[in-house]
A = this chain, B = another copy of it.
Amino acid sequence: MGHNSFGIEFCVTTFGESHGPAIGVVLDGLESGFPIDFPSVQKMMDRRRPGGNALGTKRDEKDNIEVLSGLFEGRTTGCPLAMLIRNTDQQSNDYSTIAHTFRPGHSDYTYQKKWGIRDYRGGGRSSGRETASRVAAGAIAMQILQGKGISIQAGTVQVGSIKAQERNWQVARENELSCPDMKAARLMEDLIGQVSQQKDSIGGVIECIATGVPSGLGEPVFDKLDAQLAKAMMSIGAVKGVEIGDGFEASCNRGSLNNDQMDSTGFLSNHAGGILGGISNGQDIVIRCAFKGTPSIAREQKTIDESGQEQNLSIQGRHDPCICPRAVVVVESMMAITLLDFYYQEFGRK
């Protein structure tokens, strides 16, 4: 199984670099006969794409999807569905100054060490641009899950030390951070603006909730649903932490508080985040992902070049001061991809 693939019965393979001809994704294992709503897929793509909001990079990619296979008369065939997204606004010359210098906080150093060669243009394979492939896959997975009664919603619940105090998911779609607390959203936006002016970036936390997930998804021991979700989320570039339900808060609490008791109407709380023993219990799946501040900052930093010489580097170009606004839809996508895989494993494709 390739390292650029994810999933067993629904297997997603991505390819492509930031400044190559194209990026793309192959979906293997989709059920047949499903009519994909591509305008909706494109809307999810737009939520991620650069230039899609006021807070982010000014790179302008249309991110139009071309379907190459697996579709017949608008329906899935059961054969692999491949999608292609051309890179159009690449501006490779932006990156000449960092061709041989390692950007702090980036994979430049490790790629060079591992392979002895790297496509330095825009970070190549390690660029956040790769996540466009995940969103194309996730958008389709989400449509299929919706038909099974499962819906997924994510939003920014923290930027720097500003935390959302509410979970009003109605308002989440009305601000660019998808923050479920409008007052906090405004404060977060202000903070991001300040940070950007200071040539810096800032981290944040995205929360994702899946509703309507039936009990039974996940396998004991190694392939627990939460274990695979943790992998899914940690595989997103800037994520440094993942927690399920009460997460790290649970480590401060007592068992008597953390246990979700039951009565004849069902569970009386959801500290577990919808997963017990690695298997979904029918409650909402709740996961949170900690994002570091974008490593590309205009501020001068110490680093070295390929020959080991010390350099002072100020990264120019178009970069997001906070990745959360665009990462929300990536988190939703990885949730959808993971859930659909476990759904097919448990209930088949019929």
Contact = CB atoms under 8 A, between A and B. Distances in A.
Contact of A5 (B13, B79, B243, B291): B13
Count identical subunits in the complex: 4
A275 B109 CA distance: 11
A303 B261 contact: yes
A259 B72 contact: no
Given A77-B117, A253-B293, A299-B256, A262 B102 contact: yes
Nearest to A337: B222
Contacts of A41: none
Contacts of A220: 3-4, 79, 107, 111, 125-126
Contact of A33 (B3, B117, B281): B117
A276 interface: yes
A67 B15 CA distance: 11
A21 B252 CA distance: 36
A85 to B, nearest CB: 10
Contact of A234 (B160, B242, B282): B242
A2 B26 contact: yes
Most buried by B among A66, A80, A299, A308: A80
B231 A293 contact: no
Contacts of A296: 255
Contacts of A202: 253-255
Interface string A248-272: 1011111111111111100010011
A246 B251 contact: no
Given A222-B235, A259-B297, A295-B255, A115 B240 contact: no
B1 A5 contact: yes
A301 interface: yes
A273 B261 CA distance: 37
A317 interface: no
B115 A290 contact: no
Contacts of A297: 255-256, 259
A28 interface: yes
B309 A222 contact: no
A279 interface: yes
Interface in A1-37: 1-9, 11, 13-17, 20-24, 26, 28-29, 32-33
A189 interface: no
Most buried by B among A16, A78, A161: A78
B72 A118 contact: yes
Given A4-B28, A4-B220, 19 more contacts: A14-B222, A16-B68, A17-B79, A21-B68, A77-B125, A78-B111, A84-B84, A110-B277, A110-B281, A114-B279, A201-B255, A203-B255, A224-B235, A227-B232, A240-B248, A241-B242, A250-B290, A262-B303, A263-B304
Interface of A: 1-9, 11, 13-17, 20-24, 26, 28-29, 32-33, 66-72, 75-82, 84, 102, 104-107, 109-111, 113-119, 124-126, 130, 158, 160-161, 195, 200-205, 215-216, 218-224, 226-235, 237, 240-248, 250-264, 268, 271-273, 275-282, 290-297, 299, 301-304, 308-310, 345-348, 350
